[in-house]
Amino acid sequence: MSLLSEINTDQLPNHIAIIMDGNGRWAKSKGLLRSIGHQNGAKTVKEIVETCAKINVKYLTLYAFSTENWNRPKLEVELLMKLLISSLKKEVKTLQKNNIKLSTIGNLNSLPTKVAKELKDVIEKTKDNNRLTLTLALSYGSQEELIKTIKEISLKVKNNLISPENIDKSVINNHLYDHYLPDVDLLIRTSGEQRISNFLLWEIAYAELFFSDILWPDFNKENLFEAILNYQNRERRFGKTSDQLK
């Protein structure tokens, strides 16, 4: 029996973020090229995105390529960019069919021209979809995002557009890449690693964290349901006491 039957659909996390880790190790464990791991990881992305749409999760953010990933071997980076382009071309019909809106966060100016063009094309084609907002974090690093935000706010203070006394959470939120998204409710990381890796550091301030030992290419919808059930069995206090919540 699927774990889906145990999930309370009235208490789904509104925003799920996933650090998709383990493609390389999955391939190595099977004596395959890392490229095969990335290709199988892309299949997992399709399953998880479609599942989130079907169960009515409203926001899904995937850590697809970090600012640090540019330091990987050149051939692997090129392959990842080609895989991204082919996946976008292949899945645009799936996004439309499932009423999924695509968006991106990160330093998109650093992406190859072909990748940026394909992204903009799919974003434009899906802009009116409203069942699920799928956000790809590409060339993204949270520290870089916060530095960008601080610089932008500082410049506005310098030009008397913002008073230092009025800088609050909402001002910072409005200068982040994902200013249009709600805070993350559930952060999932696969592959057994238990760290955040410079991902959405501001946005996960009160997120529930779930670490899975499963490598990303083997992660499936039942593993997602397990993470959601784990989330639903936690008490989210946001600094309050249990008695206050009652």
| Digit-coded pLDDT (tens) for 5-18 | 999 999 999 999 99
For residue 100, which of 45, 136, 58 has the smallest C-alpha distance? 58
Pick the range with the lowest mean pLDDT from 47-56, 202-211, 233-242: 233-242
Left (φ > 0), alpha (ψ -120 to 50) or beta: where does 106 sit?
Answer: left
Point out the residues that are catalytic: 21, 69
pLDDT tens figures, 171-220: 999 999 999 999 999 999 999 999 999 999 999 999 999 999 999 999 99
Residues whose CB is less than 8 angstroms from the CB of residue 40 and which lie 6 or more positions away in sequence, other chains included: 23, 26, 27, 217
